[in-house]
Chain A
Amino acid sequence: MLYLQILVNGLLLGGLYACIASGFSLVWGVLNVINILHGSFIVIGSYVGLLAHQQFGINPFLTVPVAGLLLYGFGYLLQRGVINRAVGQPVLVTLTLTFGLELLVNNMLIAGFTADYKKVVLENPFGQIELGALFVPVDRLLSMVLALLLTGILYWMLRGSKLGRAIVAVRMDREAAALMGVKVNSIYAVTFGLGALMAGAAGSMMSMIYPISPIISTAYLGKAFVICVMGGLGSVPGAIVGGLALGVIESFGSLFFSAELATTFSFVLLILLLIFRPTGLMGRRGYE
């Protein structure tokens, strides 16, 4: 029964991880840019949730669209104004660029909000569902469902909409997409915006679960990285599978070892995976 509870806890967290990783993976796959800023995007989303809760007593679930749209705008402008200038360059150049931007943004966050840990504590918690000996906190369940829903919408958008087809086309062949009349730089900006949107939306929900501080951006980034490699780069189903897997792995890791070692445990698994199945659990083919 304990194991089942641990499994459920892991899956609940994994939904949010999937949401985080799908945005990171989308940007990596389409732009070939490893976005070091992704962790800070999540943190900004968390602060949106925190501030709205502190100032107006608004539940962080309600700030999910606000955080998402705010970060979409931020991401879009950042890509349009800055990253598009370097986007065709080797990955080390863009990595250095997003690393520099991360230093800038993260230090601004520390200057603005301090590095102290904060947390949203709901005055009216949603309570929990009891299934026999199994406890499922409703707020966690809600955030998992919402996170997976957002990830599902992203997947549907990529497959079913005209904009999505353009993004997939750019991912598969930038020049051929340009020949179809796709404005590649706009698609890059939209894609980067969508990646930031997913981070912001997840961040707003994370504010109820994780401690909030600018300095945990690297922990988020590490998770997104691990999930992407586990699930296979640039695939939404891969991000979902990888996210849920990481949630479960961390959950059991903290049971068998300790909470501090849970992250280490997942990185060790990642290294093993890279050795034995370098294409990731879901392989790699197109952005599907």
Chain B
Amino acid sequence: MSAPFFRADGVEAGYGGVQVLWGVGAELERGQIGCIVGSNGAGKTTFMRCIAGLNAAWKGTIEVDGRAIASHPPHQILSAGVALVPEGRRLFPGMSVRDNLLMGTFLRRDGSAAINADLDRALGMFPVLRERLSQDAGTLSGGEQQMCAIGRGLMSRPRLLLIDELSLGLAPRIVEQLTHILREINEQGVTILLVEQDVITALELADIGFVMDRGRIVKSGPTEELADDPVIREAYLGIV
């Protein structure tokens, strides 16, 4: 049996003396969409930060395509093909939309022709950004900012795209548009792992779901199964 494309095992991490993750494990096959759901403070964002290298993993392993990346610096993890769209978008507010997108290509060495082609592709996905190219990213609406942030993440040509809080604060119409685009990205071969507070959206979009509670994965499996699980229906969907 071949090893999964993405694998985390026994990941422990925290801030200063406060431990947040208590042995988190998750696996994704190449080309899958995974989602992590759970209440506030469960450790979802910390886990994403660990994968991207913003936080060190105190213990445990994280592997992408057989390559160990736990506690590596962010630029090495990005070179390994992992890009994070962080919580709160974190665009560079005083930079133009174009420069924000181009920041995503910082490590690329494949020349401006390939980069321009990808810029065009990203703008094809998010046509509204084309009209805003020279505008400061700080002036965009929430939905446009999320599009710009996802576009920026894609500009590094990742094989694993991490998205922390896809739909937070966005109108339902925008969320629908974004999930549609994520499926498109996924069909082009990008494996996706997202954190999502809207469980219905998450279970609809993803193939595999992970339920996180107090720093542990308490349940995982195909999303159809999770959607039928009575405990999850009660705790997260409010349906008995």
Contacts and interface: CB of A to CB of B under 8 A. Distances in A.
A181 B75 contact: yes
A29 to B, nearest CB: 12
B83 A179 contact: yes
Given A173-B92, A285-B94, A179 B79 contact: no
Nearest to B162: A179
A191 B222 CA distance: 49
B73 interface: yes
A169 B90 contact: no
B86 A181 contact: no
Interface stretch (B37-45, B96-104, B201-209): B96-104
Interface string B90-117: 1111110001001110110000000000
B163 interface: no
B192 interface: no
B78 A181 contact: yes
B156 interface: yes
Contact of A178 (B74, B91, B99): B74
Given A181-B156, A182-B75, A183-B73, A173 B107 contact: no
B166 to A, nearest CB: 16
Nearest to A286: B94
A288 B95 CA distance: 9
A179 B94 contact: no
Interface stretch (A37-45, A160-168, A218-226): A160-168
Contacts of B91: 176
B84 interface: yes
Main secondary structure of the interface of B (DSSP, over half): loop
A78 to B, nearest CB: 22
Interface in A167-188: 168-169, 172-173, 175-183
A162 B93 contact: no
Contacts of A180: 78, 103-104, 106-107, 152, 156
Contacts of B52: 179
B232 interface: no
B140 interface: no
B54 interface: yes
A180 B54 CA distance: 12
Interface string B179-207: 00000000000000000000000000000
B107 A165 contact: no
A74 B59 CA distance: 38
A163 B113 CA distance: 20
B104 A286 contact: no
A264 to B, nearest CB: 36
Contacts of A172: 92-95
Contacts of A181: 74-75, 78-79, 106-107, 156
B69 to A, nearest CB: 14
Contacts of A286: 93-95
Interface of A: 162, 165-166, 168-169, 172-173, 175-183, 285-288
Given A172-B92, A179-B52, 10 more contacts: A173-B90, A175-B90, A178-B73, A179-B74, A179-B90, A180-B103, A181-B75, A183-B73, A285-B94, A287-B94
15 contacts: A165-B102, A168-B95, A169-B95, A169-B103, A173-B90, A175-B90, A177-B92, A178-B73, A178-B74, A178-B75, A180-B106, A181-B106, A285-B94, A286-B95, A287-B94
